[in-house]
């Protein structure tokens, strides 16, 4: 069976899903079957999707709290994924123009405020 290996970073309270006991950061390199999705990565980590805040894949924003169109995104060998906890702060003014995964960009484009507000419920 063909496999892929990912570079996964977990921040804050999510670090426990990567084996950290300090709730600061964790890094792991899971090997999964080729064709695995973000949903599969979360299942492998045993991490509920509702616990993640902002998510970046290869430096592109792919999800925010309550806006997670990336669950079915197919991962590729060597992809770097960063999962941030729900209380991570990122000033909203920096979000304008951020590089996004296509699914999230499409989701934000459909919103009247284009996702430019300071709270996602």
Residue 13 lies in a domain: yes
Residue 61 lies in a domain: yes
Q: Mean pLDDT over residues 109-120, rounded?
A: 60
Q: What's the pLDDT at 93?
A: 47
Q: Supply the DSSP string of 64-104, one letter for each residue.
A: BTTB-TTTTPBP-TT-EEEEEETT----GGGTTT--B-HHH
Residue 82 lies in a domain: yes
pLDDT digit string (tens) for 34-76? 999 999 999 999 999 999 988 999 999 899 888 899 999 999 9
Q: What's the pLDDT at 96?
A: 58
Hey, which residues does 32 pair with through a beta bridge? 4
Q: What's the pLDDT at 89?
A: 66
- CATH number for the domain including 61? 3.10.20.30
Rounded distance between C-alpha atoms, residue 121 and residue 118, angstroms = 10
Residue 121 lies in a domain: no
Residue 119 lies in a domain: no
Rounded distance between C-alpha atoms, residue 4 and residue 15, angstroms = 22
Greater model confidence, 67 or 17? 17
Residue 41 lies in a domain: yes
pLDDT digit string (tens) for 64-112? 888 899 999 999 999 999 999 988 766 554 555 676 767 776 777 776 7
Residue 120 lies in a domain: no
Domain count, the chain: 1
Residue 90 lies in a domain: yes
Which residue range(s) make up the domain with 19? 3-110
Q: Which of the four pLDDT bands, split at 50, 70 and 90, describes residue 23?
A: confident
Task: Using a cut of 0.85, tell me whether the model's pTM lies above it.
Answer: no
Task: With CA atoms as reference, report the closest residue to 22 among 12, 32, 31, 30.
Answer: 12
């Amino acid at each position: 069976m063909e496999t892929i290996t990912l570079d996964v970073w977990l921040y804050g309270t999510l670090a426990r899903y990567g084996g950290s006991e300090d709730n600061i950061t964790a890094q792991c390199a899971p090997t999964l079957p080729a064709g695995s999705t973000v949903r599969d990565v979360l299942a492998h980590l045993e991490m509920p999707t509702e616990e993640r805040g902002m998510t970046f894949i290869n430096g592109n924003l792919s999800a925010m709290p309550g806006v997670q169109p990336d669950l079915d995104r197919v991962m590729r060998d060597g992809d770097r994924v960063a999962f941030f906890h729900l209380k991570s702060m990122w000033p909203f003014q920096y979000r304008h123009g951020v590089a996004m995964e296509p699914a999230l960009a499409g989701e934000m484009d459909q919103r009247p405020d284009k996702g430019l507000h300071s709270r996602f419920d």
